[in-house]
Amino acid sequence: MPELHHNSPDIEKWLTLARAKEVGPKTFLRLLEHFGSVGKATRATVLDLRRIKGIGDQTARKIVSSIGEFDVSKELHLAKKLGVHLIHYEDPRYPPGLKQIDSPPPILYVKGSIIETDKLAIAIVGSRAHDYYGQEQASRFAYTLASSGFTVISGMAAGIDSWAHKGAVNARGRTIAIQGCGLAHIFPQENTNLFNNIPKHGACISELPLETEPRGENYPARNRIIAGLAIATLVIQASGRSGALITAKYAMETGREVMAVPGNIDNPLNQGCHQLIKQGAKLIENIDDIMEAIDYFGATVKDYVAQTTSKAEKDLFSSQPDISELNLSDAERKLYEIIKNKPDHIDHLIRSSGLGTGQVNAALITLRLKGLIRQHPGNHYSR
């Protein structure tokens, strides 16, 4: 397997273009599409740029004059010092789900790793202001999802985000934190332990230059990445003005499932969740509800997984794989060993495995999405 923790090829050229003035994610991809390569785009003249729809004379001049101003060598030296690697849009390691959003980031700064199974990710988001109920629900759902083989995505902010990451870490599962600042900063400071622990079984990710300080205007854009990395977004304890609602909006716009946990109707901290439920978000009370929501949404999820699965992985799953080579949770491994070529009813699988109903449902969904088992009418399953 190739080394995962290295910079993408030609990352210097990508950084040079991405850090030019007036070049945001949309403009970057427009330039890449027009010129065919980042190298050609960095050598473009004002006249070349003016031929592109939406780029006027003033913008073209700012782009050309600022090419090369950003200190790429300094950035890459600092990245190496911090244990951060950079992945660009054309790198095979770039998360395929992120390419489906409106303005995917051209470059991701990654501290940790992004792996194949991160395609089965669920975002858990909510308000910074929260109470014990929100803390408990975020921890509980994250712990159960991570234990079931899902990657938990969140934003490392104080409040619900932090408790979601902690739940996944406590389950020894994978979690990915999308930050609204550069990875040279830890924000908030009380999350220092999380920042250090998450990369061991996941990643801290940012699209921003390493030394970018945490600023309020960075967070709405960060939320599109959270939604783009997940097959579904679960909102827990969000007020009516919570930034978590922006994440939910991005998820809806990308065609991903949105779910919400209800709460006390007299508590303003729950208004955003109730608002989402009124708008069609799935009401979630337990892990079975999540599995049902994803299963209901399953055709799209399975299409997404199929579209983003490498040929090597498809070849692996086309035969009977050696489960020792697969990244399965204990519950998934146990069920896979029980399930044979002859269809077996879910009740028998629950009895034979000794697992709880929720664990079995979660594991079955994951095994199906990974292409390891098939579902038959009447809740029967086979390889």
CATH of the domain at 249: 3.40.50.450
Ramachandran sector of residue 3 (left: φ over 0; alpha: ψ -120 to 50; beta: rest): beta
91, part of any domain = no
Q: Are residues 69 and 135 in the same domain?
A: no
Q: Are residues 36 and 157 in the same domain?
A: no
Helices (H), the chain: 11-18, 25-35, 38-42, 46-50, 57-66, 72-82, 132-147, 160-170, 192-197, 218-229, 244-253, 271-278, 287-296, 298-307, 311-318, 330-338, 346-353, 357-369
pLDDT at 99: 92
103, part of any domain = no
Q: CA 192, 195, 201, 203: dihedral to nearest 10 degrees?
A: 180
pLDDT at 175: 98
pLDDT at 3: 47
Instruction: For the chain, count helices (H), then strands (E).
Output: 18, 12
Report the chain's mean pLDDT, rounded to a whole number: 89
pLDDT at 329: 80
107, part of any domain = no
pLDDT at 315: 41
CATH of the domain at 30: 1.10.150.20
Q: Are residues 121 and 256 in the same domain?
A: yes
pLDDT at 142: 96
Count of domains observed in the chain: 3
Q: pLDDT digit string (tens) for 243-289?
A: 999 999 999 998 899 999 999 999 999 999 999 999 999 999 988 88
Q: Are residues 154 and 285 in the same domain?
A: yes
Q: Are residues 339 and 270 in the same domain?
A: no
The arithmetic mean of pLDDT across residues 220-234, rounded, is: 96
Q: Which of 25, 59, 80 is the last residue of a domain?
A: 80
Q: CA 353, 287, 304, 118: dihedral to nearest 10 degrees?
A: -80
pLDDT at 44 over 60: yes
Q: pLDDT digit string (tens) for 288-346?
A: 888 888 874 444 455 555 554 444 344 433 444 555 556 678 888 899 999 988 888 88
Count Cβ neighbours within 10 Å for each residue of 163-192 and write b for 16 or more, e otherwise: bbbbbbbebebbbbbbbbbbbbbbbeeebe
- Look up residue 159 and give its DSSP letter: T
CATH of the domain at 330: 1.10.10.10
d(CA 368, CA 49): 48
**pTM attached to this predicted model:** 0.80
The arithmetic mean of pLDDT across residues 103-118, rounded, is: 94
336, part of any domain = yes
Q: Are residues 124 and 248 in the same domain?
A: yes
pLDDT at 303: 53
CA geometry: angle at 83 spanning 78 and 87, to 5°?
85
**CB 159, CB 130: distance < 8 Å:** yes
Q: Are residues 207 and 340 in the same domain?
A: no
Highest-scoring range by mean pLDDT, 83-92, 94-103, 281-290: 83-92
Q: pLDDT digit string (tens) for 129-179?
A: 899 999 999 999 999 999 888 999 999 999 999 999 999 999 999 999 999
217, part of any domain = yes
Q: Are residues 157 and 287 in the same domain?
A: yes
Residue with token string 């896979």:
336
Q: Which of 23, 57, 80 is the last residue of a domain?
A: 80
313, part of any domain = no
Q: Are residues 292 and 323 in the same domain?
A: no
**Higher model confidence: residue 89 or residue 311?**
89
The whole-angstrom distance between residue 309's C-alpha and the CA centroid of its chain comes to 16
97, part of any domain = no
323, part of any domain = yes
pLDDT at 1: 32
Q: Are residues 76 and 127 in the same domain?
A: no
Q: Are residues 122 and 268 in the same domain?
A: yes
Q: pLDDT digit string (tens) for 360-379?
A: 877 887 787 777 888 777 77
Q: Which domain holds residue 259?
A: 112-296
Q: Which of 38, 60, 80 is the last residue of a domain?
A: 80
Q: Are residues 70 and 133 in the same domain?
A: no
pLDDT at 115 over 80: yes
